[in-house]
């Protein structure tokens, strides 16, 4: 699926005779695991490879704990293999679907996990005399990403769910990478991409994440990617532990006929990428 965002200014594609600056992702991350003595590292996992302009995030599905299985181990192994698969691909030619397929085939742990893998890719126009950049991503489940341009949300990867609170998930007895949605979204210098697990998106509305960006990414006072990831993660954590917080998870539960109030306590992983010149 190739996404071009209508009505949103995008830098014109540059002719190779006058090449535009090469772009990269400046990446920062914050991980706040849910307090749990038995699983102090939580069930989320991520990787980021700056020299490959590639990131990945996974969320081990907690329901496995009822069977005595730590799904965090599945998420960890999946991301380890995804990172290694990325390193085996040439710089500038990382294919997220290939990475996901290989990681899935090599992961042997019990459990299951959501996953989102994305890479910044240089592309060439039909006549091979123009170049532009895109974010090439695959996503399974309710992890995902949001793209902001000019401080406004312009694209969000859709959530994949079998039913309420039952996301698509990779695993031996679960979904396969064939279920992954694939996206190619054109990007430009100054764009901001927020990747996260459901611990973020279940507790923060899109407009709340946008507000963090509006307040902290102005021309004169732009925070680092790590700083912005912390602000978003900390904001999600505050709402997760708020008994009376208004949250997307609360709204979704009511639509599904469930009684739930407040935030959803969960592991919270936020990766922020600024699209910047090399």
In a domain, 257, yes or no: yes
pLDDT of residue 16: 44
In a domain, 3, yes or no: no
**Could you report the per-residue pLDDT of 209-259, keeping only the tens digit for each?**
999 999 999 877 789 999 999 999 999 999 999 999 999 999 999 999 998
Question: 225 with 148: CB under 8 angstroms?
Answer: no
Task: Classify residue 207 by burial, with Cβ atoms within 10 Å: 0-12, 13-18, 19+.
Answer: exposed
In a domain, 261, yes or no: yes
- How many Å apart are CA 47 and CA 3, to the nearest integer? 25
In a domain, 70, yes or no: yes
pLDDT, the chain, mean: 92
In a domain, 7, yes or no: no
Q: Which CATH number goes with the domain that contains 204?
A: 3.60.40.10
pLDDT of residue 18: 47
Percent of the chain with pLDDT over 90: 79
Percent of the chain with pLDDT over 70: 91
Structure tokens at 154: 């312009």
pLDDT at 8 exceeding the cut of 80 = no
**Could you report the per-residue pLDDT of 19-78, keeping only the tens digit for each?**
567 999 999 999 999 998 788 899 999 999 999 999 999 999 888 888 888 989 999 999
In a domain, 110, yes or no: yes
Question: DSSP string covering 187-200, please?
Answer: E-TT-EEEEE-HHH
In a domain, 15, yes or no: no
pLDDT of residue 63: 82
**Could you report the per-residue pLDDT of 176-193, keeping only the tens digit for each?**
999 999 999 999 999 999
pLDDT at 14 exceeding the cut of 80 = no
Query: How many folded domains does the chain comprise?
Result: 1
In a domain, 43, yes or no: yes
Domain that holds residue 134: 23-120+130-277
């Amino acid at each position: 699926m190739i996404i071009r965002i209508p009505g949103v200014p995008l830098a014109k594609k540059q002719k190779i005779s006058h090449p535009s600056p090469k772009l990269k992702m400046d990446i920062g991350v914050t991980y706040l695991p849910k307090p749990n003595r038995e699983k102090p590292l939580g069930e989320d996992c991520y990787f980021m490879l700056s020299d490959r302009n590639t990131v990945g995030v996974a969320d081990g599905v907690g329901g496995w704990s009822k069977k005595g299985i730590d799904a965090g181990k599945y998420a960890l192994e999946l991301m380890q293999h995804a990172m290694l698969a990325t390193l085996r691909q040439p710089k500038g030619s990382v294919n997220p679907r290939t990475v996901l397929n290989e990681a899935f085939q090599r992961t042997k742990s019990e459990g299951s996990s959501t996953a989102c893998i994305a890479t910044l890719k240089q592309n060439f126009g039909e006549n091979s005399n123009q170049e532009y950049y895109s974010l090439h991503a695959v996503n399974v489940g309710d992890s995902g990403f949001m793209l902001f341009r000019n401080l406004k949300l312009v694209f969000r990867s859709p959530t994949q769910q079998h039913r309420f609170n039952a996301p698509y998930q990779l695993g031996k007895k679960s979904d396969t990478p064939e279920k992954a949605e694939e996206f190619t979204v054109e990007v430009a210098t100054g764009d901001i991409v927020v990747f996260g697990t459901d611990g973020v998106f279940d507790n923060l509305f899109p407009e709340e994440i946008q507000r963090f960006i509006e307040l902290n990414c102005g021309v004169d006072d732009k925070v680092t990617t790590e700083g912005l990831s912390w602000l978003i993660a900390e904001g999600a954590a505050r709402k997760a532990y708020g008994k009376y917080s208004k949250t997307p998870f609360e709204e979704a539960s009511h639509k599904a006929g469930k009684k739930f109030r407040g935030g959803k306590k969960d592991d919270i992983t936020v990766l922020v990428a600024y699209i910047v010149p090399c």
